[in-house]
Every structure is written in C-alpha cells, then in structure tokens.
Amino acid sequence: MNILINDGLSQDAIAHLENNHFKVFQTSVAQSQLLNYLNEQEIHILVVRSATKVDSTIIKDAKYLKAVARAGVGLDNIDLDAALTHQIKVINTPSASAKAVAELTIAHLLTGVRHLQDSNRSMPLEGESRFKELKKSYSSARELEGKTLGIIGFGAIGQETAKKAIGLGMRVLYHDIAQTKVTLKLEFYDGQEIEFNLINVSKKHLLEQSDFISLHIPSQDEYLLGEKEFGMMKKGAGLINTARGNAVDEIALINALNTDQLAFAGLDVFESEPNPEVALLMHPQISLSPHIGGSTKEAQTRIGMDLAEQLIKSFKS
C-alpha cells in the first residue's frame, strides 16, 4: 500500500513501515495540491500532523484513500463525519505524547511560580546593572508542594500531569465529562508502585479550590474559561494551557492577569495560532512556548512507532 507522510514522521517508524512492505512517500505537499497528489500517486494512507487539513473534499474525492492517520492526539483538522460517511479509517496516537505534554505543563507551572518567564527576559538586559533589584523583585516565589492542581480533562495527558504533580507533593483535583473515578498508578525507577484513587469533581468546585489549573481537553466550540470562570478562581491562581487555544478567552485572560486575579499563565497554544496576539507574547506574566507539547525526541519516536504498528495491524496484506 502507498503511504504519504505529509507532515513528517520518525525515521524508525518509516523504516518499520517499509520493512513491512508499505511504499512510503515522504513529500510535503501543499494543501492546494494535496488532492491531485493523492490521486496521481494512488495514495491509500495519508499521515498528517496539525498542519495539513483533511477536509470533506479530500476525503470524498481522493480515489484510493482508505485511511487518514494523525501523528498526535487531536483530530480537529480531520473531517470525522465525512470519514465515517465514506468509510475512511481514522487513526491517531492519543497516549504516545502524554508524558512529553505533561512535562511541558509542569515546566510552565514551575516557570510561573518562580517568575522565570520574566527573569529570563530581564537578566540578559539588566542582570549586570540591577542584580540586587531583580533579586528582590523575584523573591515572592511560591513552592508547589502542598498546593492544589486542578486538571480539566483527564485523559492520558491529564493523568500523566497528575502523576507528576503528585510526585511533587501536590494535591490533585480533576474534572472530566467521562471519567468519574480514576486509579492512578505511579511507577518508580526501582520497580515500586503506588496507587492513588481520584474522584471527579464539578468544574465549579475545581475552579474555586485550585491554586493552579491545567487544561487537557480537545478543541472547543466555545470558551471553557472566560471572565466568569476567572472570577471564580482563587485570587493569585495560575493557569496552564497546553491543550487547545480556543479553550481560553485570551482577552479575559489578559484582564485577569492585569488585575492580579491571576498571578501567571503558561501557554503552549493560542487562539490565532500560528500568529499569536502581541499582547500575549509581550506580557511579563505569561510563560510562552510555540505549540511544542509533544515535541521531544522520545515522544516523536513513540508516536511514529505507535502509528506504524496500528497501520501494519490494519492494512498489512
């Protein structure tokens, strides 16, 4: 079968596919030319990340297409209704990047409580001339141990984030529309294991009781957090969003930061991605990264091999 890897995949995964007699095309085809290329090269499987949009026209008119594989978690760039109608199989890797995204979440959280987002900007410019003043201005940091992390969305990534927070001595609350009760198993390097039983709480309870909130939800039709929700949070709370940019009203977020309702935010995703608003990029209380949640070498290898195994299982003749 012919596979087009349009947005990149690990070389280990590509080799694994080729060793199992798939013909792999590693060409990054422009969106406007994608349908023609799929038909001209008789592509049976299209592998994408977030950059390529697989709309109803591609699904309907790609003559040889049997499957669309998303190397990652979200499927909002694929028309799932059209895929179901035309019997096109859709595959993704919901767990492969969980550890990487969870680590980035904790990195943003630590950055916020220790004011690193601002000190890393100020030190190169003023560290030599205003060292003592800067030291004093960043001396109001907080520790994570004993604080409460509220996690909204408790799938694979939310659960990995909870494990790391518990490892730091934090209390964890979670809210999820499906997961009513979860048993987390923390596994350590020496083979020891500890289980924690967590119970789903209401969104209102989570907002009111959490010192910090982290989002791990799919794409939203409307804001999950806006002015009302920020007003319900503890004064001086922090927000981390490594999920989807359209989950947060960014204007309300900036207002909450400017009025000290929120102490800081950490953002890996943005409403107007890939052109984030300047007000977010320049804000001294926001820790920033350019949508790199799953972008570690280890995660990319896991994603690629997971995807390859699913395709081999489904389509190897």
Instruction: State which residues form the domain around 160.
Output: 98-288
Residues 115 and 73 in one domain: no
Q: Which of 130, 208, 291, 309 is catalytic?
A: 291
Residues 198 and 171 in one domain: yes
Kindly state the average pLDDT of the residues 70-85. 90
The CATH code of the domain that includes 84 is: 3.40.50.720
Taking alpha carbons only, the member of 247, 246, 296, 287 closest to residue 268 is 287
Residues 126 and 271 in one domain: yes
Residues 60 and 193 in one domain: no
Q: pLDDT-derived band of residue 95, with 50, 70 and 90 as boundaries?
A: confident
Determine which helix (DSSP H) or strand (DSSP E) holds 195, and give its type and residue range: strand 193-199
Q: Which of 244, 250, 283, 302 is catalytic?
A: 244
- 254 with 278: CB under 8 angstroms? no
pTM of the full predicted structure? 0.89
Residues 55 and 108 in one domain: no
DSSP code of residue 234: P
Tokens of 263: 């102490």
Residue-wise pLDDT tens digits, 99-112? 999 999 999 999 99
112: CB partners within 8 A, 6+ apart: 212, 238, 240, 263, 264, 265, 266, 285, 287
Q: Share the mean pLDDT of the chain.
A: 95
φ, ψ for residue 54, nearest 5 deg: -105, 90
Residue-wise pLDDT tens digits, 258-295? 999 999 999 999 999 999 999 999 999 999 999 999 99
DSSP secondary structure of 162-182: HHHHHHTT-EEEEE-SS-SEE
DSSP code of residue 245: G
Catalytic residue list contains 291: yes
Q: Which of 208, 227, 273, 277 is catalytic?
A: 273
Residues 250 and 138 in one domain: yes
Residues 153 and 76 in one domain: no
Q: How many independent structural domains does the chain possess? A: 2
Residues 142 and 199 in one domain: yes
Residues 134 and 219 in one domain: yes
Predicted confidence (pLDDT) at residue 317 exceeds the cutoff of 70: no
Catalytic residue list contains 271: no
Which of residues 169 and 50 earns the better pLDDT score? 169
Residues 59 and 38 in one domain: yes
Residues 154 and 171 in one domain: yes
Residues 198 and 144 in one domain: yes
- 230 with 220: CB under 8 angstroms? no
